[in-house]
Amino acid sequence: GENVEQHPSTLSVQEGDSAVIKCTYSDSASNYFPWYKQELGKRPQLIIDIRSNVGEKKDQRIAVTLNKTAKHFSLHITETQPEDSAVYFCAASNSNTGKLIFGQGTTLQVKP
């Protein structure tokens, strides 16, 4: 079945450094790839998403890249700030089935 693998499980960076989280997916028919941020004790919230007809998308300090051939996509956060500390989830869905599958999550810690 569909599977999404996310790495690393934990990531610690110094404030101002960049952070990169990587995901791979198994279903070649996947065509929608969102990223969610979950702060401690709160609900997940969408931060950025990308569709399969786009290779890269940026929103201020956040960017996502997609390599459909290799079936992997990545989240890039530049100039990290302490408020970026949270758990980040990638996900992939196939518009034919509507099934949105999440990765296992990455706990990002930004040290001041």
Residue with tokens 């609900």: 43
1 binds another protein (CB under 8 A): yes
Interface residue with another protein among 11, 13, 63, 100 (CB under 8 A) is: 100
- Count of beta carbons in the 10 Å neighbourhood of residue 67: 11
Interface residue with another protein among 6, 24, 74, 80 (CB under 8 A) is: 6
Nearer to another protein, 14 or 53 (CB): 53
Interface residue with another protein among 8, 9, 69, 72 (CB under 8 A) is: 9
State which of positions 29-88 bind another protein (CB under 8 A).
Answer: 32, 34, 36, 43-46, 49
- Contacts of residue 28, defined as CB under 8 A and 6 or more positions apart, other chains included, come to 71
Shortest Å distance, C-beta 14 to another protein: 25
> Among 61, 98, 89, 87, which Cα is nearest to 76's?
61
- If 0-12 CB within 10 Å is exposed, 13-18 middle and 19+ buried, where does residue 50 land? buried
Residues facing residue 92 across a β-bridge: 101
Interface residues with another protein (CB under 8 A)?
Answer: 1-2, 6, 9, 32, 34, 36, 43-46, 49, 89, 91, 93-95, 97-105
